[in-house]
Amino acid sequence: MGLNVLVVDDDMINRMLLKALLKKNARVSTVIEAENGSDALEKAKNNKNIDIILLDVMMPILNGVEFLKIFRSDMVNSHIPVVVLTTDDTRKTEVFDNGANDFLRKPIIEKDLTRVVDQWT
């Protein structure tokens, strides 16, 4: 049984790129997509088999930091590792303070993505 990855990013092209990179990893079987933090909370709530979340920070409706605050405090499956993906290094402390497990800088490099998925699953 392979890994189930939730990819959260408001940019469809970024989601497509992440999905393509994740599909190269033989351990990944399913990629679930969400386009904002609110959508991601709903998908995390309804899918108990998510193994790792890849989370953008800058999104409309509910951004990555707001997602982390709610996810880490309210969700039954809040133990799931969350890797934050962003171009904004200044948010690093804030995301770790709110429960992120790791941090990758965009643009995402395949070997770095594989490393964090392997490390946290």
Task: Evaluate if residue 50 carries a pLDDT over 70.
Answer: yes
CA–CA distance, 115 with 3 (Å, rounded to integer): 14
Domain hosting 26: range is 3-90+99-120
Q: HSE on the CB side for 73, CA within 13 Å?
A: 8
Please tell me which residue, 91 or 22, carries the higher pLDDT value. 22
Which CATH number characterizes residue 17's domain?
3.40.50.2300
**Residues above pLDDT 70, as percent of the chain:** 98
Give the Å distances, CA to CA, from 46 to 25, 92, 110, 118.
25, 28, 29, 24
Q: What's the mean pLDDT in 4-11?
A: 97
CA–CA distance, 94 with 110 (Å, rounded to integer): 25
Q: Into how many domains does the chain fold?
A: 1
Radius of gyration of the chain (CA): 13
